[in-house]
């Protein structure tokens, strides 16, 4: 049985050193918000209710098609990945679920894996299939596509793999399958747009028919890469079209990096919510394309605007919370540090959206007063919510300063001694 990464006393000692300053900051912010008629404890309660999932693939160093530079002590198997996710959850208290990707996260005993996660205080989010890479021993190649491939045998293999993922997910206690396919084309004329989409929908409907009643099928669109001319599920329009044809359990998943630069993603959120098809989110940030940079590192305002639309939509038609997940590639940092920092950015954006005076916003919108409508958002965005996020985290048993605690803990150096070295540069310090 796996122990939690840190003893509660270690976290309590850390918090004892920071609690006086935090209380001071929290009370000062509480007074400032109180003057605006906002109850800080109410906001903190909302923040405490927010959680997201961690993807196993973000616990190792990412890379590009040019190179990957692993660090000593990074996880080498699903058990070590779970341990690193447990670090993020124990310190942040906002990341209690893990999203597995198959076959990358294959294990010999999924019942035992579920118990292992439970001992860490972790559960499982959506399972992800992988038909964008060939796997050792596979009968057919995905070089010409998977669920949308012209070759029936290739499509059948991709369908089977997705059904296998559902079966594993049932054992793990997951409630969703996320399907992202790289299927597309690199040359005009290479693929018939209509027939390719038809094949994809037909194949995906076979997967859909195997979905348990209380599951969702999350369709993730992506504009380009690996295909550079056209992609079958390239945008939210194609994704919605597919979801609507498949049935009510099919929903659209929005990855922040999967759009053309400057696309109004917050409006996509509102649109998908309006038709009840907003199923999930992959958080990351980008400057140029699907950069998979850390959430909030480039455009924290966009993150805030996304949460504003979610809060607006939720206030209008309450419904199930979309499946929130981080999906990033940590190429130059210790992945645990990036996950801790990104979780904080995402929770902060959520907290800021919770501060928006919706009546003032709606009133300005109805009076056609763009400046005051904008100011309703601005007033919330300008607030430094760190004390609310840290207080909620501490009260749930997490660390006040997550990065300081993590660095002081020496976790990675310890793991460098215990775990198998990875990559060509293993051992170079």
Q: Which residues bind Mn ion (CB under 5 A)?
A: 255, 282, 290, 327
Which of residues 283 and 381 has its CB atom nearest to ligand PSV in the complex? Answer: 283
Q: Tell me the closest approach of the beta carbon of residue 225 to ligand PSV, in angstroms.
A: 7
From the list Mn ion, ligand PSV, none, partner contacted by residue 57 (C-beta under 5 to 8 A by kind): ligand PSV
Which of residues 62 and 73 has its CB atom nearest to ligand PSV in the complex? Answer: 62
Q: Which of 14, 221, 259, 282 binds ligand PSV (CB under 6 A)?
A: 282
Residue 118: in which H helix or E strand, if any? helix 110-119
What length is written for the chain? 429
**Rule CB under 6 A: is residue 327 a binding residue for ligand PSV?**
yes
Number of neighbours of residue 12 by Cβ within 10 angstroms:
13
Q: What is the largest CA-CA distance in the chain?
A: 67
Q: Give backbone dihedrals phi and psi of 144, rounded to 5 degrees, phi first.
A: -110, 25
Q: Which of 6, 26, 50, 57 binds ligand PSV (CB under 6 A)?
A: 57
Q: Tell me the closest approach of the beta carbon of residue 240 to ligand PSV, in angstroms.
A: 18
Helix/strand number for the chain, H first, E second: 15, 12
Burial class (CB in 10 A: 0-12, 13-18, 19+), 366: exposed
Which of residues 35 and 143 has its CB atom nearest to ligand PSV in the complex? Answer: 143
**Rule CB under 6 A: is residue 334 a binding residue for ligand PSV?**
no
DSSP strand E in 72-132: where? 97-99, 101-102, 123-124, 127-129
**Rule CB under 6 A: is residue 222 a binding residue for ligand PSV?**
yes
Could you say which residues in the range 183-202 bind ligand PSV, by CB under 6 A? none
Phi-psi region of 350 (alpha: psi -120 to 50; beta: other; left: phi over 0): alpha
Could you say which residues in the range 398-427 bind ligand PSV, by CB under 6 A? none
Tell me the residue nearest to ligand PSV as measured from the CB. Answer: 180
Q: Give backbone dihedrals phi and psi of 270, rounded to 5 degrees, phi first.
A: -65, -40
- What Rg value do the Cα atoms of the chain yield, rounded? 22
Total number of residues binding ligand PSV (CB under 6 A)?
9
- Would you call 99 helix, strand, or coil by DSSP? strand
Q: Which of 84, 220, 294, 309 binds ligand PSV (CB under 6 A)?
A: 220
Which of residues 25 and 164 has its CB atom nearest to ligand PSV in the complex? Answer: 164
Q: Give contact residues for ligand PSV (rule: CB under 6 A).
A: 57, 128, 180, 220, 222, 255, 282, 290, 327
């Amino acid at each position: 049985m796996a122990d939690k990464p840190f003893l509660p006393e270690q976290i309590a000692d850390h918090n004892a050193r920071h609690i006086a300053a935090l209380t001071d900051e929290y009370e000062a912010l509480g007074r400032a918000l109180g003057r605006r008629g906002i109850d800080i404890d109410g906001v903190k309660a909302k923040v405490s209710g927010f959680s997201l999932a961690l993807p196993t693939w973000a616990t190792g160093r990412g890379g590009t098609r040019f190179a990957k530079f692993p660090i000593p002590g990074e996880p080498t198997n699903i058990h070590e990945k779970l341990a690193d996710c447990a670090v993020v959850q124990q310190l942040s208290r906002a990341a209690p679920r893990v999203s597995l990707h198959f076959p990358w996260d294959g294990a010999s005993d999924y019942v035992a894996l579920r118990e292992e996660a439970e001992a860490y205080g972790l559960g499982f989010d959506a399972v992800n299939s992988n038909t964008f890479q060939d796997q050792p021993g596979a009968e057919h190649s995905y070089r010409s596509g998977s669920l949308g491939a012209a070759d029936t045998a290739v499509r059948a293999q991709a369908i089977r793999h997705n059904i296998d993922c559902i079966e594993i997910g049932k054992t793990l206690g997951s409630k969703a399958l996320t399907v992202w396919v790289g299927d597309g084309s690199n040359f005009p004329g290479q693929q018939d747009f209509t027939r390719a989409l038809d094949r994809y929908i037909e194949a995906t409907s076979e997967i859909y028919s195997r979905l348990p009643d209380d599951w969702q099928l999350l369709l993730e669109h992506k504009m380009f890469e690996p295909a550079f001319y056209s992609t079958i599920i390239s945008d939210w329009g194609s994704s919605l079209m597919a979801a609507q044809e498949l049935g009510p359990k099919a929903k659209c998943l929005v990855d922040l990096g999967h759009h053309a630069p400057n696309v109004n993603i917050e409006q996509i959120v509102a649109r998908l919510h309006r038709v009840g098809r907003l199923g999930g989110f992959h958080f990351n940030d980008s400057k140029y394309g699907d950069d998979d940079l850390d959430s909030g590192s480039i455009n924290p305002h966009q993150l805030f605007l996304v949460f504003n639309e979610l809060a607006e939509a939720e206030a209008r038609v309450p419904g199930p919370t979309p499946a929130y997940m981080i999906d990033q590639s940590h190429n130059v940092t210790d992945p645990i540090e990036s996950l801790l920092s990104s979780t904080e950015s995402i929770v902060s954006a959520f907290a800021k959206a919770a501060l928006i005076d919706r009546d003032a916003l709606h009133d300005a919108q109805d009076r056609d007063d763009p400046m005051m409508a904008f100011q309703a958002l601005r007033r919330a965005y300008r607030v430094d919510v760190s004390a609310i996020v840290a207080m909620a985290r501490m009260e749930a048993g997490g660390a006040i300063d997550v990065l300081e605690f993590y660095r002081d803990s020496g976790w990675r150096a310890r793991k460098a001694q215990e775990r198998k070295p990875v990559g060509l540069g293993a051992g170079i310090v």
